[in-house]
C-alpha cells in the first residue's frame, strides 16, 4: 500500500492511493479510523502505523476499494500533488546516516566509518511533495541528497538486528538538503544547523508498506535537476543496513512511531562535483527511489 497524508477540505487526513485516487481512510472505515478526541477528525498515520488492529482496518478498507468501484467512487478523491503533505508532517525525530555509501564517503574525502555516523534534522524542517525548498540568505552552498528513508511503526528500544525489521512500518523518499558552508565551516564541527534550515527536509510522496518492498537493500535511487541526472546509485551500496541501523540507534534511544530515518546518500552531490553545483532559485529537484516513488520540490529564493 501507498499511504499518504493530505489536506481534504479544512483538515488533514490519511489515505491509501488506489488507481490514481486517494481513498480517505476516516470516511471509508465508517469511523474506525477517526480520531475520538474532540475537535479532531481523522487519525494521523503516526497513530495508525504502530497499531496492528488499525493497520488491519487499513488493509481491509484498501482491499474493498480495489474490488468495489462504487466504494472507491464514494470515498476516494483525485490524487493531486498539491494536496499531499509529508506522510508524517511533523515526525518526533528525523535521524540520518552520514557517509553510508562507500563512493559518497570517497567523494567527500572521508574515511569509510567503522560505526554509523548519526545526525538529526529538526522536525520543523520537514516539507511535503511540491512544497518549495527556500534558499536561506545566509548560505550560498545549499546541496541535495536523495535518500531511502524508513518510518518506524512499533516503538523500538534495545532491539536486536534480527528482530529489527518488525519495527519498520514502511519506506519513503527523503531529500537531505544541506547548507555545506554551515556543515564544513560555520557549524563548529556540528552538522545540525546545516541540515535543519526550514524546508530542508522534503519527505514523500507517500509511505510504501514493506510487503511491496521485498528487499530495501536492492533499490536504485537517483536525483535529477531539470531532468539532468546528478546522483545515481543503489541501496546495495549502503555500508550499514537497516537492521544494523535500528540495533545501533535503539541501544541509545527509543525509536518512536512516526520517527523517520534517512539511510544516507549515493555519490554525485553538488559540493563534490567539478565544477560545484549548488541549488539555485528556479531549479526543480526530483528524487526517485525505485519501488517507492518520486519526490518533486521546486527551489525558491
Ligand atoms: Zn544525508
70 and 158 within one domain: no
Count of Cβ atoms closer than 10 Å to residue 203 Cβ: 29
| Whole-model pTM over 0.85 | yes
Task: Provide the strand spans (E) within the chain.
Answer: 2-8, 11-18, 21-24, 76-78, 84-85, 94-98, 117-121, 126-127, 133-134, 142-143, 146-152, 168-175, 178-179, 201-208, 220-225, 228-234, 260-262, 284-289, 293-300
Q: 145 CA distance to ligand 1 centroid (A)? A: 6
User: What's the CATH number where 194 sits?
Assistant: 3.90.850.10
Final residue before a domain boundary, out of 29, 55, 83: 83
The CA 21 to ligand 1 mean position distance, Å, reads: 32
Same domain as 68, residue 178: no
Q: Separation of 29 CA from ligand 1 center, angstroms?
A: 37
- The pLDDT assigned to 287 comes to 98
89 occurs within a structural domain: no
In a shared domain, residues 99 and 30: no
- In this prediction, the residues of the chain whose per-residue pLDDT falls under 50 are none
Give me the pLDDT at residue 10, please.
Answer: 75
Cα(274)–Cα(188) distance, integer angstroms = 26
Q: How many structural domains does the chain have?
A: 2
Residues 221, 154 contacting (CB under 8 angstroms): no
Distance from residue 13's CA to the centre of ligand 1 (Å): 29
Same domain, 67 and 204: no
Å from CA of 44 to ligand 1 middle: 26
pLDDT digits (tens, 9 = 90+) for 222-236: 999 999 999 999 999
Give yes or no: residues 137 and 278 share one domain: yes
Range of the domain at 39: 2-83
- Taking the centre of ligand 1 as the mean of its atom positions, its distance from the CA of residue 121, in whole angstroms, is 10
| pLDDT for the residue 43 | 92
The pLDDT assigned to 251 comes to: 98
| Distance (Å) from CA 222 to ligand 1 centroid | 13
Amino acid at each position: 500500500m501507498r499511504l499518504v497524508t493530505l489536506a481534504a477540505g479544512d483538515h488533514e487526513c490519511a489515505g491509501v492511493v488506489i488507481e490514481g485516487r486517494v481513498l480517505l481512510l476516516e470516511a471509508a472505515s465508517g469511523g474506525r479510523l477517526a480520531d475520538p478526541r474532540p475537535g479532531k477528525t481523522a487519525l494521523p498515520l503516526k497513530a495508525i502505523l504502530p497499531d496492528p488492529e488499525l493497520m488491519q482496518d487499513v488493509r481491509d478498507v484498501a482491499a474493498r476499494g480495489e474490488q468495489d468501484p462504487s466504494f472507491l467512487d464514494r470515498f476516494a478523491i483525485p490524487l493531486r500533488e498539491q494536496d499531499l503533505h509529508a506522510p508524517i508532517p511533523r515526525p518526533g525525530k528525523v535521524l540520518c546516516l552520514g557517509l553510508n555509501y562507500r563512493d559518497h564517503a570517497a567523494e567527500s574525502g572521508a574515511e569509510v566509518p567503522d560505526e554509523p555516523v548519526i545526525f538529526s534534522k529538526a522536525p520543523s524542517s520537514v516539507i511535503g511533495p511540491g512544497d518549495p525548498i527556500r534558499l536561506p540568505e545566509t548560505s550560498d552552498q545549499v546541496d541535495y541528497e536523495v535518500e531511502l528513508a524508513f518510518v518506524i511503526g512499533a516503538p523500538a528500544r534495545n532491539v536486536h538486528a534480527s528482530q529489527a525489521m518488525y519495527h519498520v512500518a514502511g519506506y519513503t523518499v527523503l531529500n537531505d538538503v544541506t547548507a555545506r558552508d554551515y556543515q564544513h565551516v560555520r557549524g563548529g564541527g556540528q552538522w545540525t544547523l546545516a541540515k535543519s534550515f526550514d524546508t530542508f527536509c522534503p519527505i514523500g510522496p507517500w509511505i510504501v508498506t514493506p510487503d511491496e518492498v521485498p528487499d530495501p537493500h536492492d533499490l536504485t535511487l537517483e536525483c535529477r535537476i531539470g531532468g539532468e541526472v546528478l546522483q545515481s546509485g543503489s541501496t546495495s551500496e549502503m555500508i550499514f543496513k537497516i537492521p544494523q541501523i535500528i540495533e545501533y540507534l535503539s541501544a541509545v534511544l527509543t525509536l518512536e512511531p512516526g520517527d523517520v530515518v534517512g539511510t544516507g546518500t549515493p555519490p554525485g552531490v553538488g559540493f563534490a562535483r567539478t565544477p560545484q553545483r549548488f541549488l539555485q532559485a528556479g531549479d526543480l529537484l526530483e528524487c526517485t527511489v525505485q519501488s517507492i516513488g518520486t519526490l518533486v520540490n521546486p527551489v525558491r529564493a
